[in-house]
Chains A and B, each alone.
Chain A
Amino acid sequence: MASVSAAPSPAPPTKDESAPVLATEVSPADLLYDKCAESPQGTVFFQRELSNMQVANSMAELTRLLQDLCDRHLMKLMTFDNEPCWKLRSKTEAEKMRRLTPDERLLYHHIDQVQSEGIWSKALRARTNVTQQVLTKCLKSLESKDLVKSVMSVKFPNRKMYLLKHLRPSEDIAGGPWQSEGDFDNALISIVSTAVSQHVEQETCIRVPGDWNSYTPVDRTAAIAHKKAQVQSVQDIEDTPTTKSFRPPVDPSASRLVHRNNPKYPTAASISAWLMSKQILRDKEVREDDMEQLLEMMVLDGRLEKISGTNYRTAMTASDVQVFNGFVDAPCGNCPVFDLCSDEGEICARTCVYFGEWLSTESEE
């Protein structure tokens, strides 16, 4: 997922700052920093590569330079396969780091270590052994300095997880593509579900214009009966022409949606593949089970219908008028005082204002 990281890139270390006019004043440490900054952001440097840059003259000097940079928070020491390695920090970031109190720095360090997994505040306290007050204070200050952020874990909804500001929380704590910051991303869900429901409608329904079958009705039965009557010159009572129903003039622009004949009902897999191919979501991946979650939700919403174990189609209603049922369409079905209403007394059918309104009649005072 790192490849699609949405993190705002830290301000790139600019050369203007570090390459002042007086080149002689550039310390070797800064030189090393500048050389490293030429590589793509986020690159990890091992000792071999650093010494290849030929800034330091000896191993000892390189170590000292690195130490210097680390102290100034311009570099971060990490390990990879038990081998030490370093990574650059932006200058602004380093600046912020420099202003941290030791406690804050300690916490920052631990938060930094867990990366996108995030760390629960309680776990943080256990690792750092600071008091609760210090913890709260420091975390607040770190957050206000835009160095770390907190998200609610989806797995444990009452856990606040901390991670570095520019990192995207892992799916474990942030949930699938539908969630952000521990909450469902309503805007995203609504955009995607609208797109999906249009797609499903395309696949499973067909919009038929009002004049799709513009035949001229021939009254065949009447014609036959007429012919017969002419021949026999008397009409058989058994052959009375059937009454044809009145066919209302059709409005060609009025269309109606009908279920497709032999449709290929889409599945979660086909829809998620379609969605990814459409590239509606730039930096998120919607897997099959993410899609299934969304589709199931849309079934609950009444926008889709599940046809069999895995297939979906558009839920249609043939009529637009919403009728509920005999009970709730009457005043009592929706009455706020239904439970208080009795046969006699202050609230009853005789005094009922809702009935009065509904029937436009007077009720008893």
Chain B
Amino acid sequence: MSYLQRETPILAELCTFLVEDQYGELAARVFSVLARHGRQTLAALVRASYLNGRQIKHGLVVLIQQHLLFHSVTESDVNYYEIDWQQSYCLVRYGKVLKLVEDRYGKKATNVISNLLTLGHTRIVDLKEAYFPAPEVAESRGGETNGTSLGKRNANGERVNGTAIKTNGITNGVASKQDNLTNGDGGHANGVKISGTTNGDGAEEDAQEENTIQSVDELYAIIYHLMQQGWIMKVEDSQFLSPGDMHDQARAAAVDENYGGNNPTGNKDKEVLAADILQRKRRIRDDWLTVPKFPTRKRQNAEPDYGMSNKRAKISHGNDWTSHGDTVLLDAGYTTSQATSADLIIRVNPEKVTVGMRTEQLALLVETRLGYTTSQIYRVMLRLLETNLARCYEEWPDRIKDDPDAPIDSRHLVTARDVAKNIDRSIDLFESLDPHAIVQITRKGHVDKHHRLSNPIDPDSLTLDDKTKIIDKHIQLLSDDPFHFVTWHSRAGYSQWHVEFEEIAKSVIQQEVENTVAARKGALGVKLIRALRKKGKLDERQTCNAMMMSAQDLRGVVNDMTVQGLIQTQEVPRVERREAKHSIHLIWYDRQRAREKLLHDTYKGMVRIMQRISYERGKVKQLLIKAERSDVVGNEEKWLNRGELDALKKWKEVQEKLLLQLFREDDLVATLRDFIGPLISV
């Protein structure tokens, strides 16, 4: 986390806004003190702010619950608090996380993740309580739910761990941001409104019922499945260690074990030690992802459709779980299992989220380059690989590079056959292929001179074998593309492909830099960047030659881009007296620098959007208060006049547009920052 942990003032500002948006002002104030002063003790925090100890503690509780802070106990038993920047930034992604999970595992799983995000880390048993509360709680709650037909399982505003829980999490990004209101004080439950915009009318209620988790068993099955897929992980104390503390601990342990507590002196030894520390850190981290044994003895099932798997599981086990009472089953489960799982604390795994984001972004990129069908095929390939990818890149790689010829783990390979079995049948597999390729495979008819098939073929009528071959053609396109989206690995019945994520990540960063330049300086700027990227440091004449343009046409754009920090200049004196006239003037492009500059600017752009949102909200503040009154909600037409309704509508549009842009900027941040570590360039 070291690279991501490197915070800049602008990131601190952005995160403070995000915290305020989600958890209120108190949490944000505590957060901002930590952001400004860095690692602090409680006492120092009190000194540095105008808040009293009680308030600060409240703030800290919220922040810690959401993993926004590291807190480490040192030898002196003083607690230090430090911001976890990656997790804090992640707040902007919550809406996206839900979307990713929904696409992969359906609405029910989304619902679980949504709750986990709202709650922060949580004990499984508490999560269960939220869904299936003990009867008396349910009764006392009965009056509160006004007129919803969601049944007892949709526990709105249930009290868990002092935070409000919102189980009805089928939301898009926009709505989830509005809805994730948790009470910062953590004192009492806070009823959460269901946003009227997301769930429309009664028609949705049936679907709702279908998407409601029906039993504890099902809930456990979902959690278990999501843990196996790596989206949910255990919470362990070591996760609260700041990167520095974690390093120190790993180091201390390594020194103790291997060198009897004495620091090694020789260079060789130091290297061995460094490698050992890295290995220890990796081991600690990888351990977070191990899936403990679960009380439910569900088959490991890769199918996202829980309704179906439930049915099948029931049949195959020949044991009707639902005939037992929920509580009975649970107790039985606990006693027979290792008794750890109920108390197991779980959270959403942020690293997996970036893996999911990467899949989606790459698929989108393929769509713009090669078309829809090929992108769908790529998406299937990437999702198949996702299960075995814990993170986008190894942050603590061994200094000694792995043997490049080392065989690739077969779990990181995928074949056209795998895709053929998993691809959505409604996709026209022929799209964006050369008709000749299709005839070659189907062996029916020929291609006429207008490139039409003499015997048209319904893509739906293909055999699995032909389908596989057609998909192989698409994969070939993926592999031929200059991005080299896939790489051929070997033939084992079918061609096995793997994805060189690191190389692609670099190209995608380059792509985003070029996109930025294209928007600002047009094709000429992009050409310049590409020329410099390819040729390294160039003087004016060489630049002209590479771009086949005259110097006058270039100077303007070179200057502008230097000012924007996207290209660098250098003057190399040729004579002893350093005279500009006699110096060689070089320009070059440093991908890492451009990347950091663009990342920084993007953070700043996001801050501006957050500021504009709050400004726009301020303008309609009175109206919003009125519109949120319980008697007005649902009866807007009755209580608000035309002007107010229009203003409200306009505000919703404005907010949506801004948030959408914010999320798109977050996509850019992911590309620039999360898919690969620092690049050593030039």
**Among A183, A307, A324, A327, which residue has its beta carbon within 8 angstroms of that of B482?**
A307
Contact B453 A212 (CB under 8 A): yes
Q: Which of B426, B461, B480, B604 contacts A332 (CB 8 A)?
A: B604
Whether A359 lies near B367 (C-beta < 8 A) is: no
- Chain A residues in 8 Å Cβ range of B668: 325-327
Residue of B nearest to A355 (CB): B612
Stretch at the interface among A69-77, A78-86, A255-263: A255-263
Point out which of A243, A305, A325, A343 has the most chain B C-beta atoms below 10 A from its C-beta: A325
**Contact in complex: A184, B548 (CB < 8 Å):** yes
A359 in contact with B482 (CB, 8 Å): no
Tell me, in angstroms, the Cα distance from A326 to B531 when the chains sit together: 25
Q: In the assembled complex, which residues on chain B have CB atoms less than 8 Å from the CB atom of A247?
A: 428
Alpha-carbon gap, A122 to B665, bound state (A)? 57
Flag if B519 contacts A328 (CB, 8 Å). Answer: yes
Residues from 484 to 538 in B contacting A, C-beta threshold 8 Å? 512, 515-516, 518-520, 523, 526-527, 530-531, 534
A300-B609 CB under 8 A given contacts A259-B477, A261-B433: no
| In-complex Cβ contact of A328 among B515, B549, B611 (8 A) | B515
- Chain A residues near B450 (CB, 8 Å)? 209, 212
A194-216 interface with B by 8 A CB criterion: 206-209, 211-216
B530-A350 in contact (CB<8A): no
Contact check, B516 vs A215: say whether CB atoms are below 8 A apart. Answer: no
Q: Check B460–A305 contact: CB distance below 8 A.
A: no
Q: Are B434 and A260 in contact (CB under 8 A)?
A: yes
The answer to whether B432 and A258 touch across the interface, beta carbons within 8 angstroms, is yes
Give A158-190 as 1s and 0s: 1 = Cβ < 8 Å from B's Cβ atoms: 000000000000000000001000011010010
Task: Bits for A316-342, please: 1 = Cβ < 8 Å to B, else 0.
Answer: 111100111111111011100010010
Say yes or no for B608: interface residue by CB 8 A criterion: yes
Contact A258 B433 (CB under 8 A): yes
A-B pairs with lowest CB-CB distance, top 10: A326-B664, A245-B426, A215-B456, A261-B437, A328-B519, A349-B611, A261-B434, A326-B665, A332-B605, A324-B519
A259-B477, A300-B546 known; 18 other A-B pairs, CB under 8 Å? A207-B451, A209-B450, A209-B452, A245-B426, A293-B545, A296-B546, A297-B546, A302-B527, A317-B368, A318-B367, A318-B368, A325-B516, A326-B666, A332-B605, A333-B602, A334-B519, A349-B609, A359-B616
* Pairwise interchain contact B531-A213, C-beta atoms closer than 8 A: no
Residues of chain B lying within 8 A (CB to CB) of residue A349: 608-609, 611-612, 615
B628 CB within 8 Å of chain A:
no
Return chain B residues, CB-CB under 8 Å to A330: 605, 609, 661, 664-665
Contact B432 A218 (CB under 8 A): no
Asked if A16 is at the interface (CB within 8 A of a chain B CB), the reply is: no
Mark interface residues in A265-307 (1 if CB within 8 Å of B CB, else 0): 0000000000000000000000000000110110111100111
> What residues on A are CB-neighbors of B667 within 8 Å?
325-326
Task: Tell me whether A350 and B611 are in contact in the complex, defined as CB-CB below 8 angstroms, given that A293-B545, A297-B548, A327-B598 are known contacts.
Answer: yes
14 contacts across the A-B interface (CB closer than 8 A): A219-B460, A245-B426, A258-B433, A262-B437, A293-B548, A300-B534, A305-B481, A306-B482, A326-B602, A326-B665, A333-B602, A333-B605, A343-B13, A364-B615
B544 on the interface (CB 8 Å rule)? yes
Nearest to B671 among chain A residues (CB) is A325
Judged by a CB distance under 8 angstroms, whether A100 is at the interface is no
Residue numbers in B under 8 Å from A42 (CB-CB): none
CB atoms of A324 and B434 under 8 A apart:
no
Residues of A at the B interface (CB closer than 8 Å) are 157, 178, 183-184, 186, 189, 206-209, 211-221, 242-245, 247, 256, 258-262, 293-294, 296-297, 299-302, 305-307, 316-319, 322-330, 332-334, 338, 341, 343, 348-350, 352, 355, 358-359, 361-362, 364
- B68 CB → nearest A CB, Å: 22
Residue of A242, A245, A323, A332 with highest tally of chain B CB at under 10 A: A332
* Residue of chain B at shortest CB distance from A259: B477
Asked if A328 and B460 make an inter-chain contact with CB atoms under 8 angstroms apart, the answer reads no
State whether the Cβ of B107 lies closer than 8 Å to any Cβ in chain A. Answer: no
Interface of A is mostly: loop
Task: Assess the B426–A359 pair: CB atoms within 8 A.
Answer: no
A302 and B451 contact, CB distance less than 8 A: no
In the complex, are the beta carbons of A334 and B523 less than 8 A apart?
Answer: no
Which of A322, A326, A359, A361 neighbours the largest number of chain B CB atoms within 10 Å of its CB?
A326
Provide the main secondary structure of the chain B interface.
helix
The number of A-B residue pairs with CB atoms under 8 Å apart is 200
Inter-subunit contact A329/B369 (CB<8 Å): no
Residues of chain A within 8 A (CB-CB) of B372 are 318
Q: Does B436 contact A (CB under 8 A)?
A: yes
Complex interface: chain A residues within 8 A of B665 (CB): 326-327, 330
Known: A184-B549, A329-B664. A258 touches B434 (CB 8 A): yes
Neighbouring B residues of A348 by C-beta, 8 Å: 611
Which residues from chain B contact A245 at a C-beta distance below 8 Å? 426-428
Chain B residues, Cβ within 8 Å of A334: 519-520
Write the nearest CB–CB distance from B624 to chain A, whole angstroms. Answer: 15
**A130 and B130 alpha carbons, distance in the complex (Å):** 100
Asked if B425 is an interface residue, CB under 8 A from chain A, the answer is yes
Q: Does B430 contact A (CB under 8 A)?
A: yes
* Contact residue among A301, A316, A333 (Cβ-Cβ distance under 8 Å from B516): A333
Complex contact B527–A324 (CB within 8 A): no
B579-632 interface with A by 8 A CB criterion: 598, 601-602, 604-605, 607-609, 611-612, 615-616, 619
Most central of B430, B611, B612, B664 by chain A CB within 10 Å: B612
With beta carbons under 8 angstroms apart, the residue of B437, B547, B601, B611 that contacts A300 is: B547
Residues B369 and A326 in contact, CB atoms below 8 Å apart: no
What is the chain A residue whose CB lies nearest that of B375? A318
Task: Answer yes or no: B278 CB below 8 A from chain A CBs.
Answer: no
Pick from A183, A215, A359: contact of B550, CB below 8 A: A183
Q: How far is the CA of A330 from the CA of B665 in the complex (A)?
A: 9
Residues A217 and B460 in contact, CB atoms below 8 Å apart: yes
Contact yes or no, A206 B451, CB < 8 A: yes
Selected contact of A259 from candidates B368, B434, B598, CB within 8 Å: B434
CA gap between A186 and B524 in the complex, in Å: 14
Q: In the assembled complex, which residues on chain B have CB atoms less than 8 Å from the CB atom of A359?
A: 612, 616, 654, 657-658
- Whether B457 and A300, one on each chain, are in contact in the complex, defined by CB atoms closer than 8 angstroms, is no
CA distance A297 to B650 in the complex (A): 48
Within 8 Å CB of B664, what residues of A?
325-326, 329-330
- Chain B residues with Cβ under 8 A from A350's Cβ? 611-612, 615
* Closest chain A CB from B476 CB (angstroms): 9
Q: A189 to B531, alpha carbons, bound, how many Å?
A: 17
Task: Tell me, in angstroms, the Cα distance from A274 to B512 when the chains sit together.
Answer: 36
The answer to whether the Cβ of B371 comes within 8 Å of any Cβ in the partner chain is yes
- A211:B457 contact, CB within 8 angstroms: no
**Cα distance, A64 to B598, chains bound together (Å):** 80
Judging by beta carbons under 8 Å apart, are A327 and B426 in contact? Answer: no
Assess whether B191 is interfacial by the CB under 8 Å rule: no
| A325 CA / B430 CA spacing, docked (Å) | 30
CB <8 Å contact, A297 and B547: yes
Assembly CA distance A338 to B608 (angstroms)? 10
Inter-chain contacts of A316 with B (CB < 8 A): 369
B334 located at the interface, meaning its Cβ lies under 8 Å from any Cβ of chain A in the complex: no
Query: What is the bound-complex CA distance between A236 and B451, given in angstroms?
Result: 42
Which residue from chain A places its CB closest to the CB of B437 in the assembled complex? A261
Interfacial chain B residues near A326, Cβ < 8 Å: 602, 661-668
Interface flag for B541 (CB, 8 Å): yes
Report yes or no: A242 in contact with B611, Cβ–Cβ below 8 A.
no
Question: Cα distance A318–B619 when bound, in Å?
Answer: 42
Interface centre among A244, A318, A359 (most CB of B within 10 A): A318
Cα separation A245 to B546 with both chains bound (whole Å): 48
Instruction: Give A226 to B246 CA distance when docked, in angstroms.
Output: 63
Chain A CB within 8 A of B678 CB: no
Whether B480 and A259, one on each chain, are in contact in the complex, defined by CB atoms closer than 8 angstroms, is yes
Question: Is the pair B523, A302 in contact by a Cβ cutoff of 8 Å?
Answer: yes
Quick one: which of B426-485 are within 8 Å of A by CB?
Answer: 426-428, 430, 432-438, 440, 450-453, 456-458, 460-461, 473, 477, 480-482
Nearest-neighbor residue (CB-CB) of A237 within chain B: B311
Taking CB atoms, residues of chain B closer than 8 Å to A214 are 452, 456
Question: What separation, in Å, do the CA atoms of A139 and B59 have in the docked complex?
Answer: 83
